[in-house]
């Protein structure tokens, strides 16, 4: 194939690129009668936007999520249109609102998100009823079908031999549908959330879990953040579907095709992030935060998602103050928490539990001029970056987390020989665990002890760890994440065509 001759070039060897994700790189709105364009939210879009810049003539397929998105899609008769000067084209798929609500609000976000982050409480929930079965068929599968049809059309328009990049847990069924329509296409799927072990997938009945697995097995490559998630996927294929799996090779054999499960740890754009850290806006927040700083600063920056384990983190901090009263008045725990999905009862309850435990710890250990926990429920990235530069200990004690980019961002720009206190169940732990103090997320005493160890670690040891972690973040940045995936895509496409 001609396009494999110059594999060092961006698109060479991949054929035409079609990228699929639920949210696109831009979102249209309307303000004062004028159309507005905003960069779409979410870490996924941030990471993929780097990709778009690298690839000319790529097409990005996403959902039309706002009324104005739909208006823009209508203006192009539902087809593709150029979105910037780099040659990136966008196609916004118009989805029936009811089907979208079932897809997003019943299946993807509660059901799959909770399975993949181990958030179900099995003796109480979920109760899978006809509502969920209907939503899976008429919402999740239907939206996957709509997108598969659009992508198949675009692949055919590009001669069939394209590379399709599918993103995340919204589109587990799409690859098998697309494979049936376009047998020659090369499909690479990246899963941005944890992949749990088979018994957690057994929370779903076979009509759903088997569909998820066989849907994904339509891919040529399935990328995960860690070896552990890739292994869980392969073992799941064996345990749930009885498929032949090679754990050492990282492959499953599907009807004579080889499907690969691989780890590609996502990262950040380190240059861009370091530039942001030295911006005037961040400097302003740094000054404000420096004034509240005492001897030690513990920091956490999270969405208020139960998977982040925020309540246990504060309980552990309370134990630290109980066990080491000499720290009182000398340490602050700054918690910058972005409220998340507050329209969902489970999330609103979780925020209330956070407020409650903060009140309890501050009441028990605080004094008239010192409140141990400084809780800020707001979204302010500049303030967060300012705090990244200042912390002594960053607490990341997630129950499960696909990667946790906060850990990478924060250790990169920290100027205080800060120590990462990192849950063993984050994707980041596979890379940064050795440079961190490990947290075991259900063990309050262990977390309190680990915070104490981090706070009292000799300066040279703190510096050594911070430098080691920051060097890893710089070496394996988002460009490496993309580059490794594209190197593999080119290699496996070439192998396939020989």
Nearer to a copy of itself, 26 or 444 (CB): 444
> Is residue 147 within 8 Å of residue 187, measured between CB atoms?
no
From the list 129-137, 176-184, 429-437, 483-491, the region that binds a copy of itself by CB under 8 A is 129-137
Nearer to a copy of itself, 54 or 340 (CB): 340
* Sites for a copy of itself among residues 310-369 (CB under 8 A): 312, 315, 319, 350
Q: Vertex 116, ends 110 and 121: CA angle to 5°? A: 65
DSSP bridge pairs for 60: 19, 90
Minimum distance from CB of 96 to a copy of itself (Å)?
A: 23
> Is residue 310 within 8 Å of residue 334, measured between CB atoms?
no
Structure tokens at 249: 């090779």
> Is residue 12 within 8 Å of residue 159, measured between CB atoms?
no
From 204, 331, 387, 482, residue interacting with a copy of itself (rule: CB under 8 A): 204
Minimum distance from CB of 126 to a copy of itself (Å)?
A: 6
Residue 195: phi and psi, rounded to 5, are -110, 110
Nearer to a copy of itself, 93 or 450 (CB): 450
Nearer to a copy of itself, 53 or 205 (CB): 205
Taking CB under 8 A as the rule, does residue 242 contact a copy of itself? no
Map residues 32-61 to x or -, x wherever contact with a copy of itself holds by CB under 8 A: ------------------------------
Nearer to a copy of itself, 150 or 354 (CB): 354
Q: Vertex 309, ends 304 and 315: CA angle to 5°? A: 110
How far is residue 95's CA from residue 144's CA, in Å, rounded to a whole number?
Answer: 10
DSSP bridge pairs for 59: 18, 89
* Sites for a copy of itself among residues 425-444 (CB under 8 A): 425, 440, 442-444
| Distance from the Cα of residue 491 to its chain's centroid | 26
From 18, 73, 93, 203, residue interacting with a copy of itself (rule: CB under 8 A): 203
If one counts every other C-beta atom within 10 angstroms of the C-beta of residue 74, the result is 12
Q: Vertex 191, ends 189 and 194: CA angle to 5°? A: 155
From 122, 183, 242, 255, residue interacting with a copy of itself (rule: CB under 8 A): 122
Element housing 395 (H / E): strand 393-396
Nearer to a copy of itself, 270 or 307 (CB): 307
Element housing 39 (H / E): strand 34-39
Taking CB under 8 A as the rule, does residue 226 contact a copy of itself? no
Taking CB under 8 A as the rule, does residue 123 contact a copy of itself? yes
Taking CB under 8 A as the rule, does residue 399 contact a copy of itself? yes
Nearer to a copy of itself, 249 or 295 (CB): 249
From 424, 430, 463, 483, residue interacting with a copy of itself (rule: CB under 8 A): 424
Nearer to a copy of itself, 69 or 132 (CB): 132
Dihedral of CA 365/367/370/375: which sign?
positive
Of residues 192, 181, 172, the one with CA closest to residue 151: 181
Site residues, a copy of itself (CB under 8 A):
118-124, 126-130, 132-133, 196-200, 202-207, 228, 232, 235, 239, 306-307, 309, 312, 315, 319, 350, 399, 424-425, 440, 442-446
């Amino acid at each position: 194939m001609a396009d494999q001759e110059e594999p060092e070039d961006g698109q060479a060897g991949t054929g035409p690129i079609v990228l699929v994700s639920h949210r696109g790189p831009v979102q249209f709105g309307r303000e004062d009668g004028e159309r507005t364009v905003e960069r779409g939210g979410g870490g996924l879009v941030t990471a993929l936007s780097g990709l778009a810049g690298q690839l000319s003539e790529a097409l990005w397929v996403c959902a039309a999520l706002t009324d104005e998105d739909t208006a823009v899609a209508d203006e192009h008769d539902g087809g593709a249109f150029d979105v910037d000067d780099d040659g990136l084209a966008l196609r916004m798929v118009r989805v029936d609102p009811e089907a979208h609500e079932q897809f997003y609000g019943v299946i993807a976000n509660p059901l799959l998100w909770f399975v993949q982050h181990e958030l179900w409480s099995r003796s109480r929930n979920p109760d899978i009823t006809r509502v969920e079965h209907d939503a899976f068929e008429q919402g999740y599968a239907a939206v996957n079908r709509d997108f598969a049809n659009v992508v198949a059309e675009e692949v055919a328009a590009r001669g069939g031999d394209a590379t399709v990049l599918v993103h995340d847990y919204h589109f587990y069924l799409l690859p098998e549908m697309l494979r049936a329509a376009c047998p020659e296409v090369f499909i690479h799927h990246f899963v941005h959330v944890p992949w749990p072990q088979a018994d957690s997938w057994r929370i779903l009945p076979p009509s759903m879990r088997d569909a998820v697995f066989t849907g994904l097995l339509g891919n040529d490559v399935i990328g995960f953040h860690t070896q552990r998630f890739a292994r869980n996927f392969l073992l799941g294929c064996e345990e749930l579907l009885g498929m032949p799996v090679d754990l050492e090779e990282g492959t499953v054999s599907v009807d004579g095709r080889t499907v690969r499960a691989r780890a590609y740890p996502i990262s950040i754009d380190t240059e861009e992030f370091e530039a942001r850290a030295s911006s005037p806006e961040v400097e302003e927040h740094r000054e404000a935060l420096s004034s509240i700083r005492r001897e030690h600063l513990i920091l956490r920056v999270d969405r208020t998602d139960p998977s982040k384990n925020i309540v246990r983190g504060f309980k552990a901090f309370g134990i630290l103050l109980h066990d080491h009263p000499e720290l009182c008045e000398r340490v602050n725990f700054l918690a910058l928490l972005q409220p998340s999905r507050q329209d969902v009862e489970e999330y609103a309850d979780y925020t209330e539990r956070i407020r409650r435990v903060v009140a309890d710890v501050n009441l028990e250990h605080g004094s008239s001029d010192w409140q141990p926990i400084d809780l800020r429920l707001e979204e302010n990235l500049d303030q967060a970056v300012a705090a990244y530069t200042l912390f002594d200990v960053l607490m990341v004690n997630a129950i499960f987390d696909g990667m946790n980019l906060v850990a990478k961002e924060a250790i990169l720009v920290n100027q205080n020989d800060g120590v990462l206190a990192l849950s063993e169940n984050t994707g980041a732990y596979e890379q940064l665990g050795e440079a961190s103090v490990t947290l075991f997320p259900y063990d309050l005493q262990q977390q309190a002890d680990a915070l104490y160890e981090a706070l009292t670690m000799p300066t040279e040891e703190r510096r050594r760890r911070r430098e080691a972690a920051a060097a890893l973040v710089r070496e394996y940045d988002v460009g490496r994440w993309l580059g490794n995936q594209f190197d593999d895509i080119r290699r496996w496409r070439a192998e396939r065509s020989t």
